[in-house]
Amino acid sequence: MAEYTPQFVQKLIFVDSWRAVIPGMAAKAEEVKRTFFERVREREFSPLSVSPGQIEVEEERREYDFVELSLDPEKDARAIMAMRIAPFAKDLFVEWRQYTLGSRERG
């Protein structure tokens, strides 16, 4: 499992991202976050890890939770999703960023 610092994240291969602001739902941030990660764990991907970290966005460090799935341990190939679920004034901000690390070979 990696330490997710902004410097480490810069070395990852960016794949895709998505974000949304849900009006009036800031108070539900912790409940949504807890439910999301419960559902990820229920899917029993293996080996899977979840750890906190940061990404630098427009010169500001933001907290994310990183979900990491090992694809090929021999090649250190991993799929990594950075997930941010946080209040944004009275609204709820939800974002994921998808990355890969390791070999680009397909086999």
What would the pLDDT profile of 31-87 be if each residue is shown by its tens digit?
999 999 999 888 887 778 889 999 988 888 999 999 998 888 788 788 999 999 999
Q: Is the pLDDT of residue 107 over 70?
A: no
Q: How high is the pLDDT of residue 104?
A: 54
Q: How high is the pLDDT of residue 88?
A: 95
Q: Is the pLDDT of residue 99 over 50?
A: yes
* Three-state DSSP class for residue 4: strand
Q: How high is the pLDDT of residue 106?
A: 43
Local confidence band at 98 (pLDDT 50, 70, 90 cut-offs): very high
Residue ranges of domains in the chain, CATH in brackets:
6-101 (3.30.310)
3, 96, 84, 99 alpha-carbon torsion, rounded to 10° = 10
